[in-house]
Structure 1
Amino acid sequence: MNQNLKPVTSEHHPKVSVNPKALSIPPITWLVLAICWFVMFAEGYDLGIYGAVLPSLMEYKEWSLSPAQAGAIGSYALIGMLVGAVLVGTITDMIGRKKVMIFCITLFSVMMLLASMAPSAELFGLYRFIAGIGCGGIIPTASALTIEYAPAKRRSMMYAIMYTGYCFGGVMGALLSMYFLQDFGWRLMILIGALPILVVPFIIKFLPESIGFLMTKKRYTEAEKIANRHNISMESLNEFKSDKESETKNKFNAVATLFSKQNVRATVFFWITFFMGLFMIYGLATWLPKMMREAGYPLGSSISFLFMLNFSAALGALLAGAAADRWGSKKVISLSYLLAAISIALLSLKPSSIVVVYGLVGIAGFGTIGTTLILNAYISKYFSAENRATALGWALGFGRIGAIIGPILGGLFMTWKLDLSWNFYVFAIAAILASLSVLLIPKNIGGKI
């Protein structure tokens, strides 16, 4: 880190000194990480629980949902996420990341409460859509806070830990559904998704405001007070301020750079990979229990496969991240998607051994959900600092189109009464395309990744 940088000061207030012996990982880092992990956990539960309750929801006689309707409802939350992700950048610049996070948690918690009491499928879908808007603001806000409060050399590790909250939220949804869904029904499972609102008072009291937001608003005194109170290096604040100013100045140029002769090929194949990856993640998360139920497994067992999908993803993300550091992101991502394609295709054969089935589902979870984290890191490392955030944001935005299509297409396949194998094949084909697409990304200028 540049030792020549001086503390940020305002011409309206005196210079504030900072303890030079700042802790490498101050306690505030762990607090922010814990809060961000929790909100990602809550989002993982809220988005994942729909797939767990889907078999019961389709058997709910009052609504008589067709597969196409169920798939469409599954996509409503994802469409809401796309809307929320687009809006959150503007809103967070106006009111701050802490307030946006509190608003998002409150919004999707209230909507989950209303969804649990919905008298009709139409209202249920509407509440899921609005909940998705709240969820759409969680990932960028939690990511920014985690990275901002983490020491520079530990940011990748902290981000990886934070992101596992999403996977474990899906694990919790599957676990609770395995034990309580048959006895208490799907409404209770949805209602549990409203409980994060109980943690909002804790977040209001203990989560510090985004230092980056304070710096961009020229509220330097508040930023310095937070830094002094929590032993945060002021050099890192100057670094962050410089990055934000550079990002603002080059915002439009960064978009144009993505489609320059130098980057257009990488941009296109990154977009294809994100599209296919998110298509698989949300398609499988929505339809895997129903697909396994159609394959002859009882409700409890079919939900346990969703548990395996998310659990293996959480562990796989950390292991694959270490592997990517050693052997290169491109190789690990391509191989992971290829393994996912093979495992999903083999599931269509309905193996007689339950151990083999769990193993195949576990590999699928590792190769789809777990790979997303590495893909995020790969694109961030691939592009330069000037257009890194833009490259990731646009790739994720295009990928969310795949996320929306995945649940819809799964529902249409069932409506058309195609052979069950085709539900597996379509996700396997997407995995193969993702694997090939990654390989077609050219080396960056440095030639290192």
Structure 2
Amino acid sequence: MEPSIDALNQELKNLSTSSNKRMTWLVFAICWFSIFTEGYDLGIYGAVLPALLDDKQWSLTAIQAGAIGSYALVGMILGAVIIGTLTDLIGRKGSLIICISLFSITMALCAMAPNPELFGFYRFIGGIGLGGVVPTATALTIEYSPAKRKSFIYALMYTGYSIGGVAGAILAIFLLQEHGWRFLFYFGFLPILVVPIIIRFLPESIIFLRSKNRYAAAEEIINRYGLSMEEIKDNEDSGDYKNQEKKKLQSVTNLFKRENVRSTLLFWITFFMGFLMIYGLNTWLPKIMRESGYPMGSSLAFLVALNAFAAIGPVLAGVIADRWGAKRVISISFFLASISIILLSIKFSIVLLFILVGIAGFGSYGGVILMNSYIQTFYPADNHATALGWAHGFGRIGAVCGPLLGGLLISWNVDLSWYFYIFSISGLLGTVCILFLREKA
């Protein structure tokens, strides 16, 4: 006989918190690794892009290369919908396992692809898996984090994305010329080896189990890990979790009320510009710097700097935002990114260029990640998920446009400075949009 919900709630309050801390870091570690593998998967394409364009067997044009860079991002948009729906059916743990397995297998298939058409197709399918990783890992991390540390632990978890990009660029520096680009894609298959560990140790979402009336399964996880789940229970929005489906239409309508529509559109444009800047630079920065006269190793080192500072950006920006306010910090972050990118068009010393690239990574990533938490404090509680989901959906269009735009600029043989002008304008527009936002919805 399953325990009553009242009995379970009382048990949640009485359990100790020490095991809960251990569980927080176990879930954090698994989710961080998941984000890390996504960062490697997406970042490695920009790292190997110069080699792909030099591959005489494929004879890729810049437009084709830009389009292939966008295929994974298109898949991510579709994956966010598909995996989001699947999560409601099988839970967050199962969805994360499927996502990691899917993009790991497609990375191996990319390494074996005989032509650019199949390579692009595999990137698209892998993107579907990638699209479900961030929302699933984010939900699990936040659920198993203490209330006072949720934002910090989330920001720390998301550093995995940038560090994954750093790992890809460093491997490319040492292995690309000797072993070729296919070898680096085989590395992207290795995360599948961690799937058995995830199956064994990652707990299912307590919120998901309770929403499906699976109280016995929830109690089994609580007893196994000795959890204190009072804070996790708060995430159920005071029992409204089961009724969220009924509220979705109303939540969407609220975004476009007369008093909210301007802020909603400004958030969308900011996410669009931020994603365009991030994915455009990640895809084309090594190629642009190589065209500027730097050798392959130095060009990839710029990608390392971009992602290394991007890993620091969200954490430091979050700490500063607690004192200065998110709106001010986001606008400063985007502005710094915009200024540093446009200065890259000037021939400075190599050290100063690395610093400017680092500031660009710091500002662009820090601003976008902080936007995720800012938008949830901006709107009422019952609009959080809808506001973030729609803003991200529109922003992903910018992510798709970034690689395509770089390919178009190369095909038009424009002056290299224009790459930096375009991405700088994106950061500047994001800054302006944030400044025109109201203080609250």
- Asked if these proteins are the same fold (TM beyond 0.5), I'd say yes
> Is the CA contact (8 Å cut-off) linking 1:16 and 1:224 kept in structure 2?
no
C-alpha displacement of 1:212: 1.5
Matches within 5 A, 1:254-333: 254-333=251-330
Confirm or deny that 1:186 pairs with 2:181: yes
The residue number in structure 2 matching 1:437 is 433
C-alpha displacement of 1:25: 4.9
> Is the CA contact (8 Å cut-off) linking 2:266 and 2:433 kept in structure 1?
yes
In the TM superposition, what whole-angstrom CA distance separates every residue of 1:243-288 from its partner, at most 9, and x where no partner exists? Answer: 4235333211110000112211110100010000000010100000
2:401 to 397, 400, 405: 405
The residue number in structure 2 matching 1:248 is 245
Task: Write the distance in 1 (CA, Å) between the matches of 2:151 and 2:225.
Answer: 21
Greater shift, 260-269 or 33-42, is seen at 260-269
Task: Write the distance in 1 (CA, Å) between the matches of 2:244 and 2:288.
Answer: 45
Q: Which runs of 4+ in 1 moved over 6 A?
A: 11-16
In the TM superposition, what whole-angstrom CA distance separates every residue of 1:368-398 from its partner, at most 9, and x where no partner exists? Answer: 1222111111111111110011100100000
Task: Write the distance in 2 (CA, Å) between the matches of 1:367 and 1:247.
Answer: 35
Confirm or deny that 1:415 pairs with 2:411: yes
Greater shift, 100-109 or 334-343, is seen at 334-343
1:390 to 354, 367, 386: 386
Task: Write the distance in 2 (CA, Å) between the matches of 1:240 and 1:323.
Answer: 25
> Is the CA contact (8 Å cut-off) linking 1:53 and 1:181 kept in structure 2?
yes
The residue number in structure 2 matching 1:17 is 11
For 2:120, give the aligned amino acid. G
What SS does structure 1 have at the residue aligned with 2:414? coil
> Is the CA contact (8 Å cut-off) linking 2:79 and 2:131 kept in structure 1?
yes
In the TM superposition, what whole-angstrom CA distance separates every residue of 1:116-154 from its partner, at most 9, and x where no partner exists? Answer: 010000000000000100000100000011011112221
What SS does structure 2 have at the residue aligned with 1:386? helix
For 2:126, give the aligned amino acid. A
C-alpha displacement of 1:240: 3.1
1:358 to 354, 362, 365: 354
Task: Write the distance in 2 (CA, Å) between the matches of 1:202 and 1:14.
Answer: 28
What SS does structure 2 have at the residue aligned with 1:404? helix
The residue number in structure 1 matching 2:332 is 335
C-alpha displacement of 1:50: 0.2
For 1:111, give the aligned amino acid. T
Task: Write the distance in 2 (CA, Å) between the matches of 1:249 and 1:24.
Answer: 35
Task: Write the distance in 2 (CA, Å) between the matches of 1:202 and 1:96.
Answer: 17
Alpha-carbon spacing, 1:220–1:326, altered in 2? closer, same or farther (3 Å): same
The residue number in structure 1 matching 2:122 is 127
> Is the CA contact (8 Å cut-off) linking 1:224 and 1:234 kept in structure 2?
no
The residue number in structure 2 matching 1:378 is 374
Matches within 5 A, 1:90-129: 90-129=85-124
Task: Write the distance in 2 (CA, Å) between the matches of 1:429 and 1:356.
Answer: 21
Task: Write the distance in 1 (CA, Å) between the matches of 2:332 and 2:10.
Answer: 51
- Structure 2: stretches of 5+ with no match in the other structure: none
The residue number in structure 2 matching 1:4 is none
> Is the CA contact (8 Å cut-off) linking 2:100 and 2:191 kept in structure 1?
yes
> Is the CA contact (8 Å cut-off) linking 1:310 and 1:365 kept in structure 2?
yes
1:26 to 21, 39, 49: 21
For 2:80, give the aligned amino acid. A
The residue number in structure 2 matching 1:3 is none
Confirm or deny that 1:195 pairs with 2:190: yes
Task: Write the distance in 1 (CA, Å) between the matches of 2:49 and 2:281.
Answer: 12
> Is the CA contact (8 Å cut-off) linking 1:40 and 1:163 kept in structure 2?
yes
Task: Write the distance in 2 (CA, Å) between the matches of 1:234 and 1:161.
Answer: 22
Aligned pair count?
437
The residue number in structure 2 matching 1:223 is 218
Over the aligned positions, Cα root-mean-square deviation in angstroms equals: 1.7
In the TM superposition, what whole-angstrom CA distance separates every residue of 1:4-34 from its partner, at most 9, and x where no partner exists? Answer: xxxx953799887354432385211111100
- Structure 1: stretches of 5+ with no match in the other structure: 1-7
TM-score normalized with structure 1 length: 0.94
For 2:386, give the aligned amino acid. T
The residue number in structure 2 matching 1:5 is none
Task: Write the distance in 2 (CA, Å) between the matches of 1:282 and 1:97.
Answer: 27
Greater shift, 227-236 or 106-115, is seen at 227-236
Identity of counterpart residues, as a percentage?
58
> Is the CA contact (8 Å cut-off) linking 2:376 and 2:384 kept in structure 1?
yes
C-alpha displacement of 1:227: 2.0
Task: Write the distance in 2 (CA, Å) between the matches of 1:322 and 1:92.
Answer: 31
Task: Write the distance in 1 (CA, Å) between the matches of 2:99 and 2:191.
Answer: 11
C-alpha displacement of 1:239: 2.5
C-alpha displacement of 1:403: 0.3
Confirm or deny that 1:204 pairs with 2:190: no
> Is the CA contact (8 Å cut-off) linking 1:295 and 1:350 kept in structure 2?
no
